[in-house]
Structures are given as structure tokens and as C-alpha cells.
Structure 1
């Protein structure tokens, strides 16, 4: 079999270090009310692998150099793993007294299925997995699980759209079969000339500042810092009417929805602790942005891989802050850093600090591996309507990534579906409890509604 390979870039390497600890397992879970055609779905997914070589790659670990590389065979390999209704029922057993929908529970199960936990030098590990869960009553869930170094949030959204388009058209996707399959360059190799440069002393000062700040950062109150961790999800939805009002208010104030969500999270966290008046805490917000439009060459969202960067800011919250005033501050801080190319100049610093936190958990509060209170994406994903409900019984989907290794206390994956806000909020359990997170989300909801 013909193979091509390339070493992972530094940002991809940081994810290769993070995923084995439990952060960076990307999952798309799709609910169908009709039994899907498995050979057809398998063919569709293999066509996607042919179109996007990184999805067809395997991860190879070299212990002598402690490095990773992508190895890409010529032919797609993916097979859908089936779970019958009995096996699925076993997975769906939950100790939670409140009923949780099967789609939600299967998503959490996949987020905590870590195929990359123990990289083995003698075998290559797939980057893309698919499972089909059969539910009672004829429903089923298709779960796609990917290594985040190969598929960021924008890529996952594009992947889902391609799959939906393929299923709607019922015809094959034109892949690259017959050509040499090569994985595209990593993000560091596509940064425009001069935009990623940072003087040595500036890098040292910034690294010291980030390190010292990490000890001062506050989070939600920790419930259990000793037990093994999993990723759990709270789903947060708003009506189309309320979503429209929030988006309208964001537009009128010339800020992004992500800033409003982050501001509501900061206010909600401080309020949950019921401090005396004016007692303040310092919280960190990480904003992730899709850099494809800013790279050289410019990449489209259909370009699968990891091309996101992060910008971190800290805020002193005293209590009593107004939503839109704080959102304006969050937005302006982010846009100012973006205009100075800090999404490129700070990339190496944040990757280094993430790896150091993995190696030395004591560098984070209570050794929790929490690097910020909340992470948001600069822009939501807008999900267009599709015809699959009629043809295949496509009912619902959730997409997000795990965070129970290194990462934020809560990661926000926001989508606008048919004009309504639909968020998957991922958090580490039992570091935080589901009841605690439900209360936190209720506070965010009330703050947003009060703001409109």
C-alpha cells in the first residue's frame, strides 16, 4: 500500500499531547428516526476520507524522538462500528435521576472513548471513527469521533455539511482516488510572513506573565479534584425570538455573540459564589478563532485540519457588572489583540503553556488543569435547514469536543439553527457536578434574558 507522511506541526503536537489526557476528542452525534442505510453511510464517509487526506490518516508515535506524524494510506479505511439495541441500552444506563435524551448520553459516551490514550510505537492509530447505535423504537444515532489535531470546529461543521449534502443528493463525492494522498501543511507553515514574529524578550515577559497569572485565576467552585475525570455536556437552547433579540442587540452595539456569552458566564460565576459586595476575583476567557481566512494561502472552511488559534484575556469581576458593558470590554479586548496579530504571535506561548500544564498539573489552581473559566468561539456556526428529515428522518445533532484533561471549566460550542441559539457546553466531571452546571447555565440564561 502506498503511504505518504508528514510530521505534525507544533500546534498539532500540542493536541497530540492533550488528547491522551482527555481534551480534544471531537464528536458529531446525529439522531435519525429511520434506520439508515449502513453501506450507503459507510461509502459516504469513505468518500469524505478520499476528499480530505487527513481524515484518512493515521497517527504514528516515535518514542525515540517523542514525536508524532501523520501517515496516509492511498485507500480509505473507515468502517462503521454497529451497536445493537441491547448494547446501546447498556451504554445508556445512567445514575442521574433526571432523564437525559439518548443522543446526549451517546455523545458523552463518545467524548470519553479515548482511542489515543496510550500511543503505541508499534502500531498507527486511526484519526477518524464512526459508530452506529440502535435505539428502541427504530431510532438510531450515528457518532463520528475525530482527533482534534485533524479536525477543528470549523472543519467539523464543514464535514457535517458535506455529509448532509451527500446524503441529500444520494450520489458520490468526487474524491482524490488515484492521486497521491498528502496531508496539507499545518497552521504554522501558513502564517503570513512577519505576522508570527515576536522578539525574544517579549516572549519571555509574556510567558512569565501567563505563568504568574495562572496561580491567581479563579474558577467555579471545585467539587471533586481527586477522582478520575470525564467530559459531561449541558445543552442550552433559546427561542428564535429571544435569539433574534440578542443578535440584534449585539449588532447594535457592534459586538460579537461570543463576547455576550463570555460576559454572561463571568457574571454568573461570580454571582454563584455569593460574595460580599465588591469582593473580586480574576477570571480568564479564551476566545478561539478560525484563522483560515487570514492564512497564506487563504483556506476555505472545507479545508479539513486544525487551523484555530486562541487569545486569552483576564478580567477582574467585582459583582454588579452590567452585561453589555462587560461584553463590550470582552469584545474590544479580543479585537485589539487580534489587530496586533496576537493570535499568531502568542500561538507558541499558549501551546507551550498547555503542554507544561499537562506535565505539571500543580501549575494550575488546585492541580485541576483548568486554564480558564470559559472558552468561546469568535463566531457561531450557522446551520442551514436541510431536507434530511423527510428523506432519512434526520432529527437532531450535537457537536463538541472533550475538555476533561487540560482546558477551561466550561467550553461553549454555539450554533444558530433556524434562527435559534443551540449550545453544547462541555465541562469536566466530577470536578464540577451536573447540578452545579445546570445552575450555572440557568444563571447565564437569566442574565441574557434580563439583558434584552
Structure 2
């Protein structure tokens, strides 16, 4: 295959920040299926080839030019992914004796921390695939199918769209799925922002940058438990039944807010409660709300358009204890909604990318060099899935979609799903900066706070 057959472009600003973040451990996206029916490996590989044909970003390789300090996405014309299989006898060494951590969870955490984009000596891997596929035997009757993706090439929306395509192919038993072959590499988000949306006068940009920097010095954090040991990403689950989920969603709808505002409010209350501070003592916490910009771009993109097209809006909130959940939820969501109406999800992209890269290069600029940029991050909209029918069709027992955050990022990243009417959040955190017990207690308190909100809504 000649070099002329490849297509290549330099990464955009947002993609560059992820290229900087992933070597440190933030931005390794994992989609994992827990199956009770053995996967057909040749079929799975053909199905992934179909996905790579229809989504050029998924067959791209990430290259780094050390002389210019730049990254590029280089896309070969044909699919090339190989599924790697680890049998149960080899997987068993990963499995812990902790009864609170399932074999499936252990595999997901292992994948989040398996950084294929950096060498053991810390240098970047040349021509690294952005998509990796693994199958693990969890037991004699359970398997995990895992896709690991570099976030610069594919965000949560694109990854879940591909997962739906893959599940559809697995259900039909067909590996083509009717996909058409695409050859054009996707554009970066900066190339698709409508004219005028990113404009900000020079002095306004300077004031905003100064504001972000000074504000960060006043922010409180969740208590750090170990700042010395090297970190990895772990997760716990926040689950609620369909009745409680329905009450929560109804409460949000009646107040004109989205679920993200409620989850942020519960996280803020739980974080402050964990410190046992006297009521009335103020603390300022930062929250990051991630919004999918596809429908706002020019041209408008669909959820099936693979690339990174999310933007973050960061707000800070003063918490003094004794806050009402719903009142705080309205406050957090209104702050986000107003910022979005003022186009801050576009106008502040370059500023936040710059600050993110500065934090990566200078961790000492963050408290305890912890690289924490906010208390919590939440997506504007949850993923809504209906998968009960796949239990019998392909033996789908469970699935998780999340990403690592133990480099630069929040203390808690919520990847929320409404699955068959039930709220299911994968809550990712950096360990041992935060311990599993600390996070289990925090998420348990968040659930209690949400359940109290359900009772209030019912009353």
C-alpha cells in the first residue's frame, strides 16, 4: 500500500488537547459488552471491519511529529482491525477477590488503564490505531467484548452510535449492516462552528482567561486521600429502578430543567456533606457540563458522524449546606443553559483547551498537583437505550460506556444512561487520589439525596 493511498490531516485544537491528555491517562474511551453467549470472533471482526469502512476515523492512526510538536490523523483506505482474544484461564489473573467488584467491572477498569498510545519509557507510540478490540473470557459461561477508542477520534455520541450498529449486526447475524464505504476523514469541531460563534474580543478573551485562572484558586475539591502514588481510573455504579427514575425525570420536566442539573446538584450536596463542615460555611465547587454540538454545527452532523464534537461549559457554585436539591438543580441547570445561550460552548473552546494543556504540562498549578479541573462532569443529555430484547437475542447481560480521567479531569465523571427506563450511571474517578470506599460512600449519598428528591416529588 503506497503512502499516496493514505489520507491525513493535522488534528484540530480540541483534538490536540485530547492527544495531550491521553498519554497521562485521560480520554481512553471504553465500550464493553457483558455476554452470556460466546461471541463469534470471525463475525465480530467482519462487523468491526464494516464499522471501519463506514467511519474513517475508526480506521485512522495517530501520528506525532516531534520536530513540530504536532499530531495528525492518518487514514488508510481499508479496514485493518484485529480482535484479540484472552481466554478465561488468562483473564483469571485480573480478577480480584473483592466481592463488591465483578469480573466484568475488573475488565472494564483494566481496559481504561491499558494505554496503547504511550510506550513504557513515556514516549508516544508512532502510527497507533485509534480503535482496539478485545474479547475476554470472564468464566466458562461469560464473556466481555471491549472496544477501546482514543477520545480525540471519537466522543461518547459517536462511540455509542457505533455500539448500536454493532449490536444491530450481532442481533441480525449480518456483518455488512448496509453501510456505505466512506473515505473522507472527519473534520475537527473548529472547522464546523458557524461563522461568528467563536468571536470574542481580545480583551474579553484575556479577562475570561484570567477569570478562569483566579476562580480555580478559590475552588474546593473532594478530599484527596493519596496524592503521591501513580493513578488509574476506576468506577462505581449509581443505579435506580424504573419508578424512581420516572419520578426524577418527571420532576425535571415539570421544572423545565434537564437531568444533568439534578445530578450536578446531588453531587455538590454529597461532596460538601462528606466533609462534615458546619452549616453556613461556604465552599465553591466547579462543575463541567459536556454538550454535544453536532446539531449546532455547519454543516449539521448526525449522531452517527464519528469524531469529537463535544464542548464543555464550566460553572462554579457556592454551597453552604442545607440546600434543597430541586432548588440547587434549577440553579445549576440555569447557569449552564444561560452560558449555552450566550455561545460559551463555542467562544470558550480555545480558552479551555489552552488551560487544559497548561495543567497537563504544569500539574503543580492545580491543588496538590492533583490535576483536578472540577468536582464533577456530567453530559447535558443522558443516553437512552432499550436493550432488554438483546438479552435473549445475543445474551447481552450488561454494558458500560465510559472513559478514563486519572490524568487531567474532574474528581467524578458521570456517564449517565437511561436503560430500559432505569437510571444507570458509570461514575469514574481517579484512584488512589480517591479510594473506592470514599467513592462508594459518595455515590451512595448521591443516591439517597436523589431518592429523597423522589419522595418530595411524589408528595
Report TM bin, short chain.
Answer: over 0.9
* Higher mean C-alpha displacement, 327-336 vs 386-395: 386-395
Aligned position for 1:173: 177
Which structure 2 residues correspond to residues 102-117 of structure 1 after superposition, within 5 A? 102-117=103-118
Q: SS of the counterpart of 1:131?
A: strand
Aligned position for 2:28: 25
Aligned position for 1:7: 10
Deviations along 1:193-251, one digit per CA (max 9) or x if unpaired, are 10111111011001011111112111111000010000000011000000000000000
Change in CA separation of 1:66 and 1:240 when aligned onto 2, cut-off 3 Å: same
Aligned position for 2:351: 349
Aligned position for 2:457: none
Deviations along 1:248-289, one digit per CA (max 9) or x if unpaired, are 000001110000000000001011101112111110000000
CA distance in 2, matches of 1:364, 1:54: 33
Contact 2:326 2:453 in 1 (8 A): yes
CA distance in 2, matches of 1:384, 1:138: 24
The answer to whether residue 397 in structure 2 is matched with residue 395 in structure 1 is: yes
Q: Report how far residue 175 of structure 1 moved.
A: 4.2
Deviations along 1:355-390, one digit per CA (max 9) or x if unpaired, are 000011111111100000000000000012364322
Contact 1:311 1:337 in 2 (8 A): yes
* Higher mean C-alpha displacement, 152-161 vs 422-431: 152-161
Which structure 2 residues correspond to residues 49-198 of structure 1 after superposition, within 5 A? 49-93=52-96, 97-118=98-119, 123-171=126-174, 172-177=176-181, 181-198=183-200
Aligned position for 1:258: 260
Contact 2:406 2:431 in 1 (8 A): yes
* Higher mean C-alpha displacement, 196-205 vs 119-128: 119-128
Q: SS of the counterpart of 1:228?
A: coil
Contact 1:403 1:427 in 2 (8 A): yes
Give unmatched runs, 5+ long, in structure 1: none
Q: SS of the counterpart of 2:280?
A: coil
Deviations along 1:312-360, one digit per CA (max 9) or x if unpaired, are 0001111011101110011110110000100000000000000000011
CA distance in 2, matches of 1:33, 1:204: 55
CA distance in 1, matches of 2:73, 2:313: 27
Q: Report how far residue 120 of structure 1 moved.
A: 5.7
Contact 2:382 2:416 in 1 (8 A): yes
Q: SS of the counterpart of 1:167?
A: helix
Aligned position for 1:429: 431
CA distance in 2, matches of 1:122, 1:26: 18
Contact 2:117 2:125 in 1 (8 A): no
CA distance in 1, matches of 2:155, 2:363: 25
Aligned position for 1:295: 297
CA distance in 2, matches of 1:313, 1:47: 41
CA distance in 1, matches of 2:10, 2:101: 41
CA distance in 2, matches of 1:114, 1:321: 41
CA distance in 1, matches of 2:124, 2:102: 39
CA distance in 2, matches of 1:391, 1:332: 42
Q: Structure 2-normalised TM-score?
A: 0.96
CA distance in 1, matches of 2:338, 2:188: 26
Q: Report how far residue 78 of structure 1 moved.
A: 0.4
Aligned position for 2:382: 380
CA distance in 2, matches of 1:121, 1:405: 16
Q: Report how far residue 169 of structure 1 moved.
A: 2.0
CA distance in 1, matches of 2:246, 2:205: 42
Q: SS of the counterpart of 1:137?
A: coil
Contact 1:167 1:388 in 2 (8 A): no
Alignment RMSD (CA, Å): 1.3
Deviations along 1:424-446, one digit per CA (max 9) or x if unpaired, are 00000000000000110111011
Q: Report how far residue 409 of structure 1 moved.
A: 0.3
Contact 1:63 1:121 in 2 (8 A): no
Q: SS of the counterpart of 2:111?
A: helix
Q: 2:243 aligns with which of 241, 244, 247?
A: 241
Q: Report how far residue 36 of structure 1 moved.
A: 1.0
Q: 1:445 aligns with which of 429, 432, 447?
A: 447
